[in-house]
Chains A and B, each alone.
Chain A
C-alpha cells in the first residue's frame, strides 16, 4: 500500500498541466463530422469546446432560389437517419402556407412512414450507444430490421437513405402490395426483435454502469437549452409536438409519451426504446385505419391540388391543362402566396421547425430550419464537464448528434 510516507516530493516539483485532446472532426466516436476540443486533467474533462460547420451546405441560402418541391431533397440531408420526417415536415409546411387540406388516408400513410423513420432513427441511436459502451451485438442484430424499414421506403419512393419521399399534397404513387406485405412482416417480427434488443441492454450490468449518471441534465436546464424530443423527455418534460400541436391527424391515434427523470444517458436510452414501442402502436393503428377505408377513399393517395401536384404522365400527353401544370410545376414557375409560416414536426431528435417567409415569388424569401441537433449540441460542455473522457463518447452518441442536422 502506498502511503504518504513512501512518496515525499517537495511542493511544486510535479507540474500539473491539462492536456488538450481533439475529439473529431473525423474520429470514429463522433459518428459524424464535428469536433470537440476537450481540456483534460488526467482523464477528467475540465472544459469542452464544440466546433460545427464542417459540412455546412448553405441549404437556407440555396432554398431562396428553389421552387418549393426542389427544397425537399435539401431537407433529406438534415437528419439523414430519419429523412422521411424531414420531407413530410417540409411538405406540411408548404401545405400550411398554400392552404391545402390532405385526405385522411394520406395523413395515415404519412404517419406510417414517419413512425417507421422514428423507429429507424431511435434504433440507430440506441444501438450506437451500445456500440460505444462495448456491445456490438445489438447493433448488428437490429440492423437487418432497419434494412427492412429501408426496403419499405424503397417500395414507396424508390430510395433508401435520402428519400425525397412524398410530394406536396400526398405521395407520388400509392403504396404497392409489396410495401404493405413488408410492413406486415415488420409489424409481426419487430416486437420480438426489440424485446431481444432490450434483453441485451436494459438490465445489462455493464451497460447500466456505463450509462446511469452519465451526462445528466435537469428539466430546467434542458428547457433553457431548448432541448426537445427524446432528450427533453428523458429529463422529465412531456413535451411532444405530435400531442401538443397535432399534425397529419396524430390526434386520431392512441399513444403515450414516455418520460424519464434524470436526463442521463440511461434515461435517454429508455425513452427512445419506449418510443419505439409507441411508434409500433401508432403504425398498427394507422395500418388498421387504412384497411378500413372502403370504395373510392381506399385509393386516395394525394390531395387535389393541380397547381402543385404533378399530373399523371398519360394525362400530360393527352390533356392541355395537365401539360401546362406539368410544365409550370417542373419549371417551378408557380408563385406562392405571400406570408410567413412556422410549422414544426416531431423529428427523430426533437422539434424540427420550418420558418418560411414568402414575398409572393416562386421561392421562399427566407427559409430557416430549426434543427434540434444544432440547438442541443451547445449543452454538450455542461453535460460532460467533470466527467470522464469515456463518458463524453457515450453522451455524444446518446444525444444522437447528426452532423447533417447540425450544419444545415
Chain B
C-alpha cells in the first residue's frame, strides 16, 4: 500500500492530537505546523514509524515574517519518504527575540550545514547544534542579513562610486549629480577626480 497524504495526516493526528495544526496541501504537498518544542519529537516519529519512514531530509530553510508578532521566524523542513516517494513539509515558528529551535543534526547529518546557513542568514539558534557558526558570511558579522529589515540596496542611490555599472565615478558614466557629490566628499582626489 502506498502512502498518501491522508494516511500521514491521520497518523499525525492520532499521535499528536491537536498539536499538529494548519494542514494544507499546496500543490499537492502535505504541509503542517507544529510547536517548536515538538520538532525533534516529530522528526523522530516520522523517521521511526514503520509506515511513515520519512528518512530523507531534503531541505531545511528559514523564513522571516515580520508581520507575525511573536512568531516571526519559521523553519521549514522538507522530508521525503524515498520508498513510497512521498514528500511532506512542516514548519515551526519561533519568536525572533528568543529564536531557539532544537537541532535536527542528531537525526540527520545533513541538517548540520543547512542549520548553519539558517543561523547565518536568519539568526535561528539551533539548540544542541555541534558547530553553530556562520557558514557563508564572515565570522565578524553581527547581524542576520536575510531578515526582512535589511532592504536590498536602493537602486536610485547616487552616493556610491560604482562607475563600471553606470553609477558615480569619474569617467562620466554615472549621472552628473553623483559626480559632484563624489568630488566634494573626497577632496583628496586630484583635479577633475581622475585617478591615474
Contact = CB atoms under 8 A, between A and B. Distances in A.
Interface of A: 52-53, 56, 58, 60-62, 64-65, 96-97, 221, 223-226, 237, 239, 244-245, 339-342, 344, 351, 353, 355, 357, 365-366, 368, 370, 374-375, 377-379, 407-408
15 contacts: A52-B135, A52-B136, A58-B145, A60-B146, A61-B146, A61-B152, A96-B27, A97-B27, A223-B82, A226-B58, A339-B27, A341-B27, A370-B78, A378-B112, A378-B113
B63 to A, nearest CB: 5
Given A223-B55, A341-B26, 10 more contacts: A53-B137, A56-B136, A62-B152, A226-B108, A244-B82, A366-B61, A375-B110, A375-B113, A375-B114, A379-B109
B94 interface: no
From A340, A351, A357, residue with most partner B Cβ within 10 Å: A340
Given A223-B55, A226-B108, A374-B113, A53 B135 contact: yes
Contacts of B136: 52-53, 56, 407-408
A244 B57 CA distance: 16
A235 to B, nearest CB: 13
Interface of B: 26-27, 29, 31, 55-59, 61, 63-64, 76, 78, 82, 85, 87, 89, 108-110, 112-114, 117, 121, 134-137, 145-146, 152
Given A53-B136, A64-B152, A355-B76, A370 B27 contact: no
A224 B152 contact: no
Contacts of B58: 226, 344, 351, 353, 370
Q: Which 4 A-B pairs have the closest CB atoms?
A: A226-B110, A53-B136, A368-B61, A56-B136
B50 to A, nearest CB: 17
Nearest to A368: B61
Nearest to B78: A342
B56 A226 contact: yes
From B55, B58, B82, B112, residue with most partner A Cβ within 10 Å: B58
Nearest to A55: B136
B151 to A, nearest CB: 9
A223 B56 contact: yes
